[in-house]
Amino acid sequence: VGQGSASIVTRNGRAVIIDTGASFSERGSYAESVLLPFIQQHGLTVDLLIISHGDNDHAGGLEVLKRTYPELTMLSPDSGCESGMQWMWQGL
């Protein structure tokens, strides 16, 4: 999405969002104008949000997604990690 980064990986009607793209203060964000409409148009259930780092062009829409999906599991550098940590999603 634009100069920043946002991706949605989908499988079997479910989704993982990787980064959110930028926020433009009063003009909204890519999360509002691109990600959420895409998710709604395709009827996706969002399982996980991964934030690579906190710069606006990668995490600017984070608050929008947290408001929209308050129970959403999120992984980010702030979440911490454990040696050998692994996870599977939809068999991937």
d(CA 87, CA 92): 9
**2 falls in which pLDDT band (50, 70, 90)?**
low
Q: Which residue has the tokens 């068999």?
A: 91
Mean pLDDT of all residues in 12-28: 91
3 falls in which pLDDT band (50, 70, 90)?
low
The H-assigned helical ranges of 1-92 are 30, 36-41, 56-59, 62-68
pTM here is 0.87
Q: Is the pLDDT of residue 34 over 90?
A: yes
